[in-house]
Amino acid sequence: MTENTRELAIVSLYPKDMNIYGDTGNVKTIALRARLYGYEPRIYKYNVGDAWPEHVDLVLGGGGQDKGQAAISDDLFARSQKIHELAQAGVPMLLICGLYQLFGEYFETNEGVRLPGINVLGVHTVGQDTRMIGNLVEHNAQCGTIVGYENHSGQTFVHDDGTEPWAEVKADGTGNNGVDHTEGARKYNVIGTYMHGSVLPKNPQLADLLIRKAAEHRYGNFEPISTVEQAEELNRLNAMAKAAAQVAASRPR
Amino acid sequence: MTHSFLSALTPAIGKTVRAVARLRGGGTALPGRVIESIDSNFMARTLAQLPYGVVLVSGTNGKTTTTRIVSSMLEQLGLKVFTNPTGSNFTRGVVSALLDAVDMSGKLHADIAVLELDEAYAVHFVDKVQPRYALLLNVLRDQLDRFGEIDTTAKMLATVAKKTTGTVVLNREDPRIAALTDVVSQGANIAYYGLSDELVSFFPSDDTMYNSDDTEDSRNFTLSHYRPAAVTLTKVHNQQAQFEFADNASRYDTNLKLEGVYNAFNAAGALAIVEAIMNDVASAQSHEKNGDKSRANMHGDIIRAVSTVTPAFGRGESIIVNGDKVELILVKNPMGFRLALKSFDALNHKTMIVINDEYADGRDMSWLWDVDFTTLTDSGVEAVSGVRATDMALRLAYDEVPVRNVNDDINSCLEEFIASTRGVDKHIYCTYTAMLAVRKSLSQITHVEDAGL
């Protein structure tokens, strides 16, 4: 590594088993935007049984099917302590859907069986028969309006233990549990959410928040160094994201 | 008494509703809905008349084309075939089509039915009608907004496999399909179709698609790849294909009118099921009139039959516009889009992509992020349109693919695309409702065959 390369180590968590529907778009978005800010993103695809990377500046995890969740469960528990340490050290993480649930305290199935999570986020999820599916717009104090697509059958409830709901949703029957108008959860810099879409391309402000926190973790500060072309490309991507987000927000659920 | 009286009236009532629905410009489902409510047994009773029963085709990708391949082949081989029209792959669509086909006494003049059914509707269908043959193609992530998970889809197809009485044909290269071997009923036969070792990497299954780094593990075959296949696709180049039959290890080279490597693979599945059907037909007929044919003869016949099949609506359909060839390519899920991009040469063509998000297309745009668009980096994309043009443009931007024009209005975008790319052949990738809009728009410039929708 030369002095000029400013590496950011990004872990894509369980891309083999937890990749349902487009969450790989989040990795693409972080990689390209980090480069345009003058960082050198290094993507580690971490799958069951792999060695854990030495440095970790950002963790991205996706949704999965029941089978995928079962496949990674043991490995996730084996990594639980490491993940807790990173979370407490301020490493940003974005967990979508299935991994959001597994980062919680437990998931209770329809049959009443409690499957433990690694308890980084103070949330629990209860299985239900009806799925919550559709386009969704939410509001977060830091990131403003966020658009995406939710598709989950579990109802998630946020505990009062330092974990906060990540965003607010307007309509009943949407978000974490369809009842309390919350969506997602946040503790430290760990964000869990049900937003697919992929969520980051159309919500670059959230992508940039994660990159900023990752840089702060690694280098103590976030100092974008972009060439003129890179700055232009960022502006172009932001304008496109804005247009796409506006259309998305106008579509039927 | 009341029941049989009513049933006798079903064809007349149904045909009348159908005629009225047509006059009002309605779709194909209404008459089906009316008949389902007054005579719920109509479909089962009518299909039970068929001497060779029902062939059910299902799976995520390629249903429409494969149904067309199977039914065209059977017609070529002398059977009278009833099939549901393009894309109306719901039970009501089948009922509506049956109403058209029966005479006033309710008699269906056909030897066999070849039906394309959406996975969820296939479950309802087999509850009422047990198919004699089933051809199960693949399970890929698609319409997760309806089905939730791909393993749910696999369970739906398991129900179909279980209920089939004669022969179940399975794609051995798709582990979720090959696993259905275990549920096929004891009295039924199983036949596999597959790919030669060299071709496997062309057709990643849902699992391999998401796991591959495209380097060291490209020969990481699934165990089911080693099951003996009745028909194997051994070579495919442009529109030339080579198929191998297991029972006498003979290889046949043939030209196909179908475009795309995935259609050659669908053709292998079609060959396997047609072989099973024609064997049954031959043994039934040899009872009657000693019309037994040799294996090799039959293989020659069914290969000839497959070579004449033309593409189904929108699936690699070519239209000539102002002297340029315009290829319409339906895309509806990551695997289909990915295979289509692999199949069609981008460099000597101009490319347009049209993405809608109506219910029939799928509301969730996430799937676009699972398609690798870097094969378009060199050629670029001329035009992006449809309701979600902005999403598609953003997606291409993150793969660093240059895009010239983004315009959500399909008519004006298409007009500009055609005018600005004169003299060069074109590819238009579209989702389902976008395809309908593009065809309609093109039909104002040139003759476009009625798709019968």
Q: What is the mean pLDDT of each run of 10 residues along chain A (253 residues)?
A: 78 88 89 97 95 96 81 94 97 96 92 91 93 95 96 94 96 96 98 96 98 97 96 97 96 91
Please choose, from the candidates B360, B367, B357, the residue with its C-alpha nearest in 3D space to the C-alpha of residue B333.
Answer: B367
Asked if A141 reaches chain B (Cβ–Cβ under 8 Å), the answer is: no
Q: How far is B214 from chain A (nearest CA, A)?
A: 14
Rounded to the nearest 10 degrees, the angle between the axes of helix B432-443 and helix B410-420 is 60
Contacting residues of A for B151, CB less than 8 Å apart: 65-67
Residues belonging to chain B: 453
Determine which of B139, B146, B147, B149 to mutate to test the interface with A (most A C-beta atoms within 10 Å): B149
The stretches in chain B having pLDDT less than 50 are 1-2, 25-26, 212-219, 290-292, 450-453
**Nearest CB neighbour to B394, from listed A15, A133, A202:** A202
Co-location of B122 and B204 in the same domain: yes
**Which residues of A carry out catalysis?**
97, 196
Question: Hey, of B217, B364, B387, which one would you mutate to test binding to chain A, going by the most A CBs within 10 A of its CB?
Answer: B364
Interface check for B5 against chain A (CB to CB < 8 A): the answer is no
For A247, the closest of B144, B369, B390 (CB atoms) is B390
Both tokens of B142, joined, read: 């698609």
Residues B289 and B372 in one domain: no
Task: Tell me which of A21, A137, A196 to substitute to probe the interface with B (most B C-beta atoms closer than 10 Å).
Answer: A21
Question: CB distance B144–A32 less than 8 Å?
Answer: no
Is residue B391 within 8 Å of B355, Cβ to Cβ? Answer: yes
Fold of A7-250: Rossmann fold (3.40.50)
Q: For chain B, say whether A51 makes contact (Cβ under 8 Å).
A: no
CA dihedral in degrees (B228, B336, B251, B80; nearest 10)?
90
Closest CA in chain A for residue B359 = A252
A16 in contact with chain B, both atoms CB, cutoff 8 A: yes
Please provide the DSSP assignment of B385-423 as one string. ESTTHHHHHHHHHHTT--EEEE-S-HHHHHHHHHHHTTT
- Supply the pLDDT for residue A240: 97
Q: Containing domain of residue B8, as a range? A: 2-307
Whether residue B380 is found in the same domain as residue B265: no
- Identify the CATH number of the domain in which residue B425 sits: 3.90.190.20
Residue A22 to residue B367, Cβ atoms within 8 A: yes
Q: Is B402 on the interface with A (CB under 8 A)?
A: no
- Domain boundary pick from B307, B332, B351: B307
Q: Are residues B168 and B256 in the same domain?
A: yes
Burial label, A141 (beta-carbon count in 10 A; 0-12, 13-18, 19+): exposed
pTM to 2 decimal places:
0.72
Domain check: are B342 and B289 in the same one?
Answer: no
Together in a domain, B265 and B324: no
- B265 and B244 inside one domain: yes
- For the stretch B33-88, pLDDT in tens is 777 777 788 899 999 999 999 999 999 888 888 999 999 999 999 999 999 866 56
Q: Are B182 and B270 in the same domain?
A: yes
- Are both B78 and B220 inside the same structural domain? yes
The total domain count for chain B is: 2
For chain B, the helix, strand and coil percentages under 3-state DSSP, each to the nearest 5: 45, 20, 35
CA angle B356, B358, B362 (to 5 degrees): 85
Instruction: Give dist(CA B120, CA B432) in Å, integer.
Output: 18
Q: Which of A131, A149, A244 sits opposite B364 (nearest CB)?
A: A149
The confidence score (pLDDT) of residue B217 equals 36
Q: Which CATH number covers residue B19?
A: 3.40.1190.10
Contact A247 B367 (CB under 8 A): no
Please give the torsion angle defined by the CA atoms of residues B113, B277, B139 and B187, in that order, rounded to the nearest 10 degrees.
110
Domain boundary among B289, B307, B325: B307
Q: Compute the count of residue pairs across chains A and B with CB atoms less than 8 Å apart.
A: 99
B contacts of A151 (beta carbons < 8 Å): 144-145, 148, 364
* Predicted local distance difference test score (pLDDT) of residue B23: 53
- Summarize pLDDT for B280-320 with one digit per residue, the tens: 999 888 765 544 457 678 888 999 999 988 876 556 677 88
Q: Domain for residue B160, yes or no? A: yes
H-type alpha helices, A90-224: 98-102, 199-202, 204-219
Residue B452 falls inside a structural domain: no
Residues B228 and B334 in one domain: no
B215 assigned to some structural domain: yes
pLDDT at B313: 59
pLDDT of res. B1: 42
Residue of B145, B253, B364, B409 marked catalytic: B364
Across the interface, of A45, A198, A243, the residue whose CB is closest to B366 is A198
